[in-house]
Amino acid sequence: MQIVISNIPVEVIRKNIKNMHLSVLPPDGRVRVSAPVTLTNEAITMFVRTKLGWIKKQQEKFQQQPRQSERQYVSGETLYVWGRQYFLQVEHSYKGNALVLSGDKAILTVRKESTAKQREAYVNEWYREQLKNEVTKHLPKWEKITGLYCSGWQSKYMTTKWGTCNTSTRKVWLNLQLAKKPVECLEYVILHELAHLRVKNHGPEFVSILNQYMPQWQERKRLLNESKLDYLLPR
């Protein structure tokens, strides 16, 4: 369910809990309220109204966070791969697209007449392959450590979540943008989603799982949320 308060959309999730919990979520300041099942919409609205000042302050922090500019995929732009910055060098060929990292350069080979959209599509597929290679190494490791096994995983471009878990099907989805962040951040998100296979919410039991298996998870979460975000296109 969604309600709008002072032009701010608020996602409302009803759960079997005693108290309300308000969150302003990265990367774009999405607002979510977890509320007891029996609580009225009016009570939820009143609660959110008392927190409007805090909500706006948190959203401003996300808006001020540095973002990468909209790309045209031309020489001189930057690409991030596993937390490291590379400078794009575009070369032309009709023998097929390629992206190769060399020193501090990301050499992108494409057809000369290719559009920015076509180049972006190729680069995103390249990122998808990089993510696949790392997840193939790290997901089984964390499944073995925790004893929590998913039924499978997939990647997709997401603008409001780093990952998500369908607890019914036990399937995990990972944000394609994770291939741009340090590998430690990917490991944190993997553990986070696996933990949801045991605990659906983010309460004390969920936090205890993170503390048990990754004592430094808060540092990794902060690194992830403070890193430079993509230019967000309407999707």
**What share of the chain has pLDDT > 90, as a percent?**
74
Residue 27's pLDDT is 66
At the second CATH level, the architecture of 116-226 is 2-Layer Sandwich (3.30)
Evaluate whether 228 touches 80 at the Cβ level (below 8 Å).
Answer: yes
pLDDT tier, 201 (very low <50, low <70, confident <90, very high otherwise): confident
Is 90 exceeded by the pLDDT of residue 202? Answer: no
pLDDT tier, 232 (very low <50, low <70, confident <90, very high otherwise): very low
Residue 34's pLDDT is 92
pLDDT tier, 234 (very low <50, low <70, confident <90, very high otherwise): very low
Residue 64's pLDDT is 67
Domain boundaries, the chain: 2-64, 116-226
How many angstroms separate the first and last alpha carbons of the chain? Answer: 21
* Amino acid code (one letter) for 144: K
**C-alpha to C-alpha distance for 2 and 216, rounded to whole angstroms:** 34
Residue where the block lists tokens 């302050």: 57
Residue 58's pLDDT is 85
- pLDDT tens-digit profile of 53-89? 999 988 887 776 555 556 789 999 999 999 999 999 9
